[in-house]
C-alpha cells in the first residue's frame, strides 16, 4: 500500500535529518527514506566542526544535550608555516563566536534518536529510493525498495533530495536546465585516528615541508590528524612510521613535540568542489551534498547542508501553511548565494595551505605571503575568522 506524507525526504544525512526536525517544529509531516541501515548511518566516521549558528540551532531545536556535555567549544585556531604558529582568536575577531568540534556521526546519532522518539516510523532505513515521478505536477512521488525487497511508493506534496553526491535526486532535474560546476584538486587527505591525548589545545592548520597537515581532535583520548597526499595513494602506502615522520616534519616547531599513539584507522579522501544549479525543479528540491561538495579545508560541508534546509524549511512552511510559494521560488538563488561564498572560502583555504604538485618556489612564497598577510592585517584575520565561524544564515522574510 502506498504511503503518504507532506514532505518526502531522500537521505538520512545532516540535510535530511535537520530538515525533518525543522519541519516538525513547523507542524509539517515528513518521512525520510534511507538506503543504508541505521548502524551504517551512525557508524560512518566523519569529522565535524560546527559553525556557531549550527550549534545554536541544535540548542534551539532541543537536540544539543549530548553535544553540550561532550563536544569541545573552540574559540580559536592556529595557522602554521615555516615552523611559526599564529593563534587566531576567533571569539575576539567575531564578537564572541566560536566553533564546536563534534563529529558528524555523533550529530547524526543525536538527530536520529530524537526524530524516532518524537515520531516512530518517520525514518525508513534500508529503503533505497529508485526514482521520483510527477515532480512537474501537483502529485509527486518517490518510488523505493522496501527492506524486504518489495516495491514501495511514497506520495507527497514536495520531495527533497538530500541523498548525497551519488544519489538519484540531482539526475531528476533535466540536463537541459541543470548546470554543474566542478573542480578536482590534485591532492587528497590521508586521515588517521590515533589513541593519544591532545598535543595542542586547538586545531592547527599547517603548511610546511611536503604540504598540508591538520592536527584536529575527536576526544580527550582520541585525536584526528590529516596529511596532504596523492589522492591515488593506497592506504597501504602509508605505514605508521611514514605517517609519524611526515606529521613530525609538517608540524615541527621549536619547543613542542607531537604526542604519538596507536593509529587505529586510516583512509584517503579526494578533494573536490562541486555545485549544481538550480536547486529546484517543480516540486523537487536539492539540499546538502546532492547540491554541492566542498573540500574539507574550510569545514563547511555539514554546515552548508544545515543552511540549505533552514532556508528550505521556512519556504515549505510558508507554502504549506499560507499558500505562498514565493520562498520556494527563491530557494535556489537564496541558498546558492551562501553556497558560493562557502566555496570561495574553502577554495581560498585549500589553495593557501596545500602544496601543488607543480608548485614553484615563487608559488610557495605567494602562499606564505597570504599567511603572513593574515598575521599582519587585522582585516585579513577578521575576514578569515568570520568565514570560519560561519556567515549569517539568510534572514527570514
Give the residue numbers annotated as catalytic, written as ranges: 74, 205, 296, 300, 388
CA–CA dist 66, 346 (Å, integer): 29
CA–CA dist 99, 389 (Å, integer): 6
Q: What are phi and psi of 59, to 5 degrees?
A: -65, -40
**Residue 98 neighbours by CB distance under 10 Å:** 19
CA–CA dist 175, 341 (Å, integer): 25
Question: Which cell is 146 given?
Answer: 522496501
Give the contacts of 172 (CB within 8 A, at least 6 positions apart).
131, 132, 135, 161, 281, 284
Collapsing DSSP states into helix, strand and coil, what is residue 396?
A: coil
Give the gyration radius of the chain's Cα atoms: 22
Give the contacts of 236 (CB within 8 A, at least 6 positions apart).
none
Whether residue 278 is preceded by a cis peptide bond, meaning omega within 30 degrees of 0, is yes
CA–CA dist 271, 107 (Å, integer): 23
Specify the DSSP class assigned to residue 259.
P
Question: Which cell is 187 given?
Answer: 591532492
Q: What are phi and psi of 376, to 5 degrees?
A: -90, -30
CA dihedral 318, 319, 321, 323 (to 10 degrees): 120
CA–CA dist 3, 129 (Å, integer): 14
Question: Which cell is 74 given?
Answer: 573552540
CA–CA dist 147, 124 (Å, integer): 8
Amino acid at each position: 500500500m502506498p504511503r503518504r506524507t507532506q514532505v518526502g525526504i531522500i537521505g538520512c544525512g545532516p540535510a535530511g535529518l535537520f530538515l525533518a526536525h525543522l519541519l516538525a517544529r513547523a507542524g509539517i509531516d515528513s518521512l525520510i527514506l534511507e538506503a543504508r541501515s541505521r548502524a551504517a548511518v551512525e557508524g560512518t566516521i566523519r569529522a565535524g566542526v560546527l559553525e556557531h549558528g549550527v550549534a545554536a540551532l541544535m540548542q534551539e531545536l532541543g537536540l544539543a544535550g549530548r553535544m553540550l556535555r561532550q563536544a569541545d567549544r573552540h574559540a580559536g585556531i592556529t595557522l602554521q608555516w615555516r615552523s611559526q604558529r599564529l593563534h587566531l582568536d576567533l571569539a575576539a575577531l567575531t564578537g564572541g563566536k566560536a566553533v564546536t568540534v563534534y563529529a558528524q556521526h555523533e550529530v547524526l546519532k543525536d538527530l536520529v534518536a530524537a526524530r524516532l522518539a518524537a515520531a516512530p516510523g518517520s525514518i525508513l532505513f534500508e529503503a533505497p529510493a529508485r526514482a521520483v515521478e510527477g515532480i512537474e505536477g501537483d502529485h509527486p512521488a518517490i518510488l523505493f525498495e522496501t527492506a524486504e525487497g518489495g516495491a514501495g511508493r511514497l506520495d507527497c506534496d514536495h520531495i527533497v533530495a538530500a541523498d548525497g553526491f551519488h544519489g538519484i535526486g540531482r539526475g531528476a532535474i533535466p540536463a537541459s536546465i541543470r548546470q554543474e560546476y566542478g573542480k578536482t584538486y590534485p591532492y587528497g587527505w590521508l586521515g588517521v585516528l590515533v589513541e593519544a591525548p591532545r598535543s595542542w589545545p586547538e586545531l592547527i592548520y599547517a603548511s610546511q615541508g611536503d604540504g598540508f597537515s591538520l592536527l584536529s581532535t575527536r576526544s580527550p583520548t582520541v585525536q584526528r590528524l590529516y596529511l596532504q597526499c596523492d589522492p591515488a595513494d593506497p592506504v597501504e602506502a602509508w605505514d605508521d612510521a611514514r605517517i609519524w615522520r611526515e606529521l613530525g616534519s609538517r608540524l615541527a616547531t621549536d619547543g613542542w613535540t607531537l604526542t604519538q599513539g596507536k593509529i587505529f584507522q586510516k583512509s584517503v579522501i579526494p578533494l573536490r568542489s562541486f555545485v549544481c544549479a538550480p536547486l529546484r525543479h517543480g516540486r523537487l528540491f536539492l539540499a546538502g551534498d546532492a547540491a554541492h561538495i566542498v573540500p574539507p579545508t574550510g569545514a563547511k560541508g555539514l554546515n552548508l547542508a544545515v543552511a540549505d534546509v533552514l532556508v528550505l524549511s521556512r519556504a515549505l512552511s510558508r507554502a504549506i501553511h499560507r499558500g505562498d510559494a514565493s520562498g520556494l521560488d527563491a530557494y535556489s538563488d537564496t541558498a546558492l548565494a551562501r553556497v558560493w561564498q562557502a566555496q570561495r572560502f574553502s577554495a581560498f583555504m585549500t589553495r593557501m595551505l596545500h602544496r601543488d604538485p607543480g608548485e614553484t618556489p615563487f608559488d610557495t612564497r605567494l602562499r606564505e605571503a597570504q599567511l603572513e598577510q593574515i598575521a599582519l592585517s587585522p582585516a585579513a584575520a577578521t575576514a578569515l575568522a568570520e568565514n570560519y565561524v560561519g556567515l549569517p544564515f539568510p534572514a527570514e522574510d
